[in-house]
Structure 1
Amino acid sequence: MDLEEDIMDGLRERGLEDSPCTLGFSVMIKESCDGMGDVSEKHGGGPPVPEKAVRFSFTVMSVSLHMADGEEEEEEETMMIFQEPKPNSELSCKPLCLMFVDESDHETLTAVLGPVAAERNAMKCSRLILSIGGLPRSFSFQFRGSGYDEKMVRDVEGLEASGSTYVCTLCDSTRAEASQNMVLHSVTRSHQENLERYEIWRTNPFSESADELRDRVKGVSAKPFLETQPTLDALHCDISNATEFYKIFQDEIGEVFQKTNPTREERRSWRAALDKQLRRTMKLK
């Protein structure tokens, strides 16, 4: 086990290497899945045949220990034993499944990753017993599907492709609604809701027309098979969130909350200060 030494080091630092740790460990795992583009090899003199690939991988983000806290058995304290120092590094990202498939091919992707999703769901409800440091230790697992880009989120959550009227993977906004509201956003979509909407899409229980049905399910058009964690993606920069953050940073620099009606010159100086800082950070001239 790659992490055995890291776990034992964490236990030694806290003087717990000989403790039975009866309440067990909790392991946080980040899942990632993305297309790798064209990976075909060029053989012979004929035309190259495009070959797409998708990689599903995971990163062990942290291992924490549950400890009894106080006299009450129900009271627990969580102690961090291991935390991945470079969670976004390729070195900490372990490939689990490499498949030759186009990431837009929902049916094939479902067939290949379906068993992975089933195994994950089984692991959520069970414990793994491993010998660590000569003692049996109990591990439970939590999964966070946050390593997905917008295209993959749409695919595994059963949403229409990125050209859809339903522009957002986090809420039910249409393009028209998003263009009118650049500031206020809330995460309203969920995996469970997407599953329920797929059933409505599949069965059409209210005998609605295609347009009415599509409006009811808010862009769900296929069966979701992997639960993803809501994260801010490039889409939200596309609908001018970046512009809004740019304005907010300027207001923070000028401490606008303490002023009323700042002058145009003041706002220009705040913008100049922000631009200077951004250029320095990004190492631009």
Structure 2
Amino acid sequence: MIFAVLIFLGLTATSLQACVNKTTDQQDPWSVQLLQSTLTVNNDFDASINGSSADGQYVIEIVGNKGKVIQNSRNTQVVVNNQIPWGSNLTLYSIIGADSTSILMGWIYCSHDDLLTALWLEDTSGLAGFTNSTVVGNCHADSTARNSSYAIREECITVDPPSVYPSMQGLDVSLQPHNVGAVNLSQEYDLLPFEIVDCLDCGNTSTNGWVEIHSVLSSKSLSNICIGIFCLYAEKGPDPMVLLSYLNCFQQQEKSTQWLPATYDISAYTSPPPPSATPASDAATSFPQSTVMKIVSLMVATIF
């Protein structure tokens, strides 16, 4: 497993403060303020990835570990921050970036014969959940170390919390209804949930499924932003723990998966009704969340 080393230049401890409401002059706790800055990316690999969907609605262009993802004319600048061998024939690349409305994370699937096979995306707007874009194209990477700069624009990212989400309480993690939570990893983070996935029927039996809290983690002191998934399992055992997985950060200083001792309550959780169905183009396939996470959960044991 190869990790990128990301260093912020010109960012201060206040770079990730909440946005200030111009009307009330008060900070909005459900927001993250990005300040204009430059990110230096130091990778021990050099990746270039290009591809698109058949109708051109989804496009990815990566050169030297940075580039852009286009979703239905929405352009998001992204940086590649991880290279992960997967199975006998694939390499995965994780990406993260931000635009004027949300923080975007994704996973790029490349075959060993340099073909782009899939692009999984999720962003903090909560509009689509995980989306598998049926892109095709080419991948190329070598072991040449690559240092490149990535510009971050000044933006206010608002996180819309789910109407219902489970509570968690432990020494290093806390989340209660209608409040921003907290998690302590290598440093302290605010925890802002933006999507809930009911995967109680995703386990091997009727009792070993889980509920996921997809969250933004905004550091209190060291100018880092992450997206991660807290998995709360139906089978708790005598010493319940929460699994934090798929942690994807601008500064890749955190373990991508870890267990946190905590009590939690998923008994009152009820999945919201699905949005009105809309015809899917050949650009992307939006699966039911439980189906998607059955697929994605297979990666947890394989990657980590």
* Length-normalised TM-score, structure 1: 0.23
Specify which structure has the bigger relative contact order, considering alpha-carbon pairs within 8 angstroms and separated by 6 or more residues.
2
TM-score (structure 2 length as normaliser): 0.22
Flag the structure with higher strand content. 2
| Larger helix proportion of the pair | 1
Question: Larger Rg: 1 or 2?
Answer: 1
